[in-house]
């Protein structure tokens, strides 16, 4: 009996896993992720702006202290531009240092790799922009023509209204003031003169073909200047405020464990791991279940099912198929985990991966797969074409969505009552438990491991028993496919 089950399992595994399509898919998925990452870098390098912004920006600024004109002039001062450029270069070097430490990137890879991966961080050459201040009586229409003619990159018109934030001083003094201050660049056509500028508004005239990067930079420069002036007016030192708000990228934390032992922890990794493991589980279980559905459908539509049933019982056939496609899913888990572990080792964060939970991951994969696979088998046995299966997909969809819905509260607080309750609801048990177990700061009590495993196993048993009944009746049923109600009614057949 076991021998026949293993024979079926072996055929199922080989029919799926040893096909070029599967092998390509298996390698292709992680490869696609890597290639996309590298490609994004490569494209960013090719697409990166290597040309500096060049030209003249004319500014008519009637605000008190010519805030906007000063801000633009300061930003595009050659020394400032050089300094910004050097800062950007340092950031790229820092990012590289964080990723690779002191390890050498292989020489043949270095130029392309660095440009690809850190291309986004590469600095744009310093801008060569001159700020031309305009007198208040200047002919604005004439200045606009200069923009049109390409003599100017842009024309900026600002007034005291642009800087005024509406009752900001009163607000700072604790008196009732206006709402949130805003800065709005306005379309030139809506405005006739400087006096028409509303609170927080400024006028920006530019050619249509201005690069988005240049436009963004001019806007952010103006807005930064206006904000700084506002800080100043309410008595806040802008530099001080920036310092107060600045936080380092919090990706390395020293954690003091219960025994007083300190360890370095990558917080980003810690947050990603539970999601990663749960997604891996869901992905493999869904794919394994999908292969089950397609395999069963193929046997039914090619009428090979009855040949099989002349050799083995429906139960043997079902178990054999489950084992075979389960092995396919497990292969995916192993391959992707191995890739992940290798990547973690290569990045020097292997110690952050809770390797002790890998056996649990396998157990929970089997649980998730058996549950989902049972439903897929039942659906596959009851229909003859894939489009007929879609009408019966409600239980499949529910068993996939439920764990996803459960994940968010579990990730927020793995030890909450809600997390514990979700851990004991079978379709979600494997996913929730994997998410809980893969968080190093949280320890799941032994009794919960026992009860959730027992509840999960019971859920699998119920799903398998129901699937076995439907499978036995469904495999030789042809013609009109049953409805969802019809499928449930099959459970009553002897």
486 sits near another protein (criterion: CB under 8 A): no
To the nearest whole angstrom, how small is the minimum distance from the Cβ of residue 390 to another protein? 23
Contact 148, 49 (CB under 8 A): no
Q: Which two tokens stand for residue 319?
A: 């178990």
- Of the candidate spans 8-16, 95-103, 418-426, 454-462, the one that interacts with another protein by CB under 8 A turns out to be 8-16
CB nearer to another protein: pick between 245 and 302 = 302
Residue 268 contacts another protein per CB under 8 A: no
Residue 417, classed as helix, strand or coil, is helix
Site membership for another protein, residue 307 (CB under 8 A): yes
Q: Is 298 in the site for another protein (CB under 8 A)?
A: yes
- How is residue 8 written in tokens? 């079926």
Token code pair at residue 18: 């040893």
Quick one: 250 or 302, whose CB is closer to another protein? 302
Among 56, 313, 352, 451, binds another protein (CB under 8 A): 313
Residue 254 as a binder of another protein (CB under 8 A): the answer is no
Alpha carbons 71 and 216: distance in angstroms, whole number:
15
Q: Cα(203)–Cα(189) distance, rounded to whole angstroms?
A: 10
* Residue 6 binds another protein, judged by CB under 8 A: no
CB of 319 to another protein, least distance (A): 14
Q: Judged by CB under 8 A, which of 107, 260, 310, 479 binds another protein?
A: 310
Q: Closest CB to another protein among 16 and 374? A: 16
Q: Which residues contact 34 (CB under 8 A, 6 or more apart)?
A: none
Size of interface with another protein, in residues (CB under 8 A) = 21
Contact segment (CB under 8 A) with another protein among 200-208, 297-305, 364-372, 388-396 equals: 297-305
The three-class DSSP label of residue 162 is helix
Q: Can residue 476 be called a binding residue for another protein (CB under 8 A)?
A: yes
Of 74, 171, 210, 309, the one binding another protein by CB under 8 A: 309
Question: Does the footprint of another protein cover residue 240 (CB under 8 A)?
Answer: no
Least distance from another protein to the Cβ atom of residue 478, Å: 8
Residue the block writes with tokens 């009552």: 417
Q: Using the minimum distance from each CB to another protein, give the nearer residue, 126 or 320.
A: 320
54-61/262-265 β-pairing: unpaired
Burial degree of 221 (CB within 10 A; 0-12, 13-18, 19+): buried
Interface with another protein, residue 20, by CB under 8 A = no
Minimal distance in Å, beta carbon 314 to another protein? 8
For another protein, which stretch binds (CB under 8 A), given 4-12, 243-251, 279-287, 385-393?
4-12
Per-residue b or e along 7-29, where b marks 16 or more CB atoms closer than 10 Å to that residue's CB: ebbeebbebbbeeeebeeebeee
> Could you give the CA distance from residue 238 to residue 278 in angstroms, rounded to a whole number?
45
Check if the beta carbon of residue 270 is closer than 8 Å to that of residue 255: no
**For another protein, the closer CB: 317 or 463:** 317
- Measured from the Cβ of residue 41, the count of other Cβ atoms closer than 10 Å reads 21
CB distance 392 to 305 below 8 Å: no
Least Å distance, CB 7 to another protein, is 6
Piece of 284-292, 304-312, 382-390, 456-464 that binds another protein (CB under 8 A): 304-312
Which of 23, 173, 193, 304 touches another protein by CB under 8 A?
Answer: 304
For another protein, the closer CB: 286 or 317: 317
Token reading at 120: 């986004």
Q: Which stretch binds another protein (CB under 8 A): 243-251, 309-317, 326-334, 379-387?
A: 309-317
Using rule CB under 8 A, residue 11 touches another protein: yes
- Strands, sheet with 184-186, edge to edge from the N-terminal-most edge strand: 128-133, 54-61, 154-158, 201-206, 184-186
Q: How far is the CB of 491 from another protein (least distance, A)?
A: 15
303 binds another protein (CB under 8 A): yes
Least distance between another protein and beta carbon 19 (Å):
9
Smallest distance, Å, CB 301 to another protein? 9
What are residue 356's phi and psi, to 5 degrees? -65, -20
**Interface residue with another protein, options 4, 77, 96, 233 (CB under 8 A):** 4
Single out the residue of 16, 18, 83 nearest to residue 288, CA to CA. 16
Candidates 1-9, 156-164, 226-234, 374-382; binding stretch for another protein (CB under 8 A): 1-9
Dist. CA 261–CA 222, nearest whole Å: 50
Secondary structure element (H or E) that encloses residue 87, with its range: helix 78-100
- Which of 39, 249, 272, 311 touches another protein by CB under 8 A? 311
CB atoms under 10 Å from CB of 276, counted, come to 17
User: Each residue of 166-175: b (16+ CB within 10 Å) or e?
Assistant: ebbeebeeee
Between 45 and 317, CB nearer to another protein: 317
Please state, in angstroms and rounded to a whole number, the distance separating the CA atoms of residues 99 and 445.
35
In the bound state with another protein, the residue whose beta carbon lies nearer, of 255 and 311, is: 311
**Given the rule CB under 8 A, which residues bind another protein?**
4, 7-8, 11, 15, 298-299, 302-313, 476, 494
């Amino acid at each position: 009996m076991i021998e026949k089950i293993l024979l079926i399992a072996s055929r199922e595994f080989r029919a799926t896993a040893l096909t070029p399509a599967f092998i390509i898919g298996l390698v292709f998925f992680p490869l696609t992720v890597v290639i996309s990452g590298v490609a994004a870098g490569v494209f960013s390098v090719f697409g990166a702006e290597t040309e500096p912004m060049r030209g003249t920006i004319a500014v008519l600024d009637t605000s008190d202290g010519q805030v906007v004109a000063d801000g633009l002039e300061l930003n595009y001062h050659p020394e400032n531009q050089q300094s910004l450029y050097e800062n950007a270069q340092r950031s790229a070097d820092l990012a590289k240092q964080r990723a690779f430490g002191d390890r050498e990137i292989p020489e043949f890879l270095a130029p392309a790799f660095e440009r690809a991966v850190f291309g986004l961080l590469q600095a744009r050459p310093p801008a060569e922009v001159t700020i031309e201040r305009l007198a208040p009586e200047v002919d604005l229409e004439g200045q606009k023509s200069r923009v049109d003619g390409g003599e100017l990159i842009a024309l900026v018109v600002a007034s005291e209204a642009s800087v005024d934030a509406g009752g900001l001083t009163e607000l700072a003094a604790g008196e009732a003031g206006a709402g949130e201050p805003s800065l709005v660049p306005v379309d030139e056509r809506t405005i006739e003169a400087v006096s028409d500028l509303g609170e927080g508004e400024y006028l920006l005239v530019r050619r249509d073909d201005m690069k988005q990067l240049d436009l963004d930079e001019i806007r952010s420069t103006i807005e930064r200047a206006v904000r700084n002036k506002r800080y100043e007016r309410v008595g806040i030192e802008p530099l001080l405020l920036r310092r107060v708000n600045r936080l380092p990228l919090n990706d390395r934390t020293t954690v003091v464990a219960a025994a007083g032992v300190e360890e370095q922890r990558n917080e980003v990794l810690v947050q990603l791991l539970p999601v990663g493991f749960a997604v891996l589980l869901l992905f493999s279980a869904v794919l394994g279940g999908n292969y089950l559905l397609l395999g069963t459908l193929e046997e039914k539509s090619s009428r090979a099912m009855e040949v099989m049933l002349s050799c083995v019982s429906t139960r043997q056939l079902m178990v054999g198929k489950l084992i075979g496609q389960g092995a396919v899913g497990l292969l995916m888990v192993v391959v992707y985990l191995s890739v992940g572990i290798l990547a973690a080792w290569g990045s020097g964060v292997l110690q952050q991966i809770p390797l002790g939970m890998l056996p649990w991951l396998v157990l929970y994969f089997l649980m998730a797969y058996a549950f989902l696979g049972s439903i897929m088998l039942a659906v596959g046995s009851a229909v003859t074409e894939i489009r007929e299966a879609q009408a019966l997909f409600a239980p499949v969809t529910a068993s996939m969505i439920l764990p996803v819905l459960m994940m968010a509260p579990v990730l927020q607080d793995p030890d909450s009552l809600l997390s514990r309750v979700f851990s004991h609801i079978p379709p979600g048990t494997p996913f929730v438990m994997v998410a809980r177990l893969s968080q190093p700061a949280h320890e799941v009590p032994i009794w919960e491991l026992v009860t959730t495993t027992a509840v999960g196993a019971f859920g699998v048993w119920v799903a398998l028993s129901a699937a076995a009944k439907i499978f036995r009746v469904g495999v030789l049923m042809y013609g009109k496919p049953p409805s969802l109600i019809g499928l449930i009614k099959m459970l009553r057949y002897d």
